[in-house]
Structure 1
Amino acid sequence: MDKQMDAAYYHLLHELQAVDFVLVELNLYLDTHPNDLKAIEEYNRYAVKRKELACAYEEKYGPLMHFGHSYSKYPWQWADEPWPWQV
């Protein structure tokens, strides 16, 4: 991994990771409390926030997920490092 990323890259990636953590925790909670409307609303708010953050990340830095979950610009961006899981 030779490419040095700017501070905004790491900030955005950190925000994504934090939102993903909240979504996992809310998902686990909702598995045992499926009728908690406030938790469902919170989950949905974070799901929207995650989509916005992921779109912002992918627009500026490239795809986050493979197998059709993220688009690639031309040329094929999966050859570009660092990949999100490498930092």
Structure 2
Amino acid sequence: MSHKQLPPEFYQLMEDLQAVDFVLVELTLYLDTHPNDMDAIKQFNEFAKKRKRLKKQIEQIYGPLQQFGNSYVGYPWNWDDTPWPWQI
């Protein structure tokens, strides 16, 4: 199955989302061992908000990113639209 070509802006947004996800994973690991670090908690919450905004921006333009009710879908059903995450 061939996938549609998306504009460079899509790939930049996805890269930004991946960077934010990386920060959130690292902060989660840090906070597991430093649960009282208020600065890290604030930073985590800032990046969580940033992730929510990025996800919303991407989905409004390009369609859903996550299944199982974590993302809304369009009509017609658009889960089979490419590229899929492993094709990026």
Deviates more, 1:33-42 or 1:76-85: 76-85
Give the aligned length: 87
Point out the structure with the larger helix share: 1
TM (norm. structure 1) is 0.96
On the 8 A contact 1:13/1:84 being kept in 2, the answer is: no
CA deviations 1:14-68 (Å, max 9, x no partner) are 0000000000000000000000000000000000000000000000111111011
Equivalent residue number for residue 53 of structure 1: 54
Question: How well do the aligned residues superpose, as a CA RMSD in angstroms?
Answer: 0.8
- Work out the CA distance in 2 between the residues paired with 1:43 and 1:2: 35
Shift of 1:85: 3.2
- Work out the CA distance in 2 between the residues paired with 1:85 and 1:41: 32
- Work out the CA distance in 2 between the residues paired with 1:18 and 1:59: 20
Structure 2 residue identity aligned to 1:27: T
Structure 2 residue identity aligned to 1:15: D
Equivalent residue number for residue 32 of structure 2: 31
Segments of 5+ residues of structure 2 without an aligned counterpart are none
- Work out the CA distance in 2 between the residues paired with 1:70 and 1:39: 28
- Work out the CA distance in 2 between the residues paired with 1:33 and 1:43: 13
- Work out the CA distance in 1 between the residues paired with 2:38 and 2:58: 30
Identity over aligned residues, as a percent?
A: 59
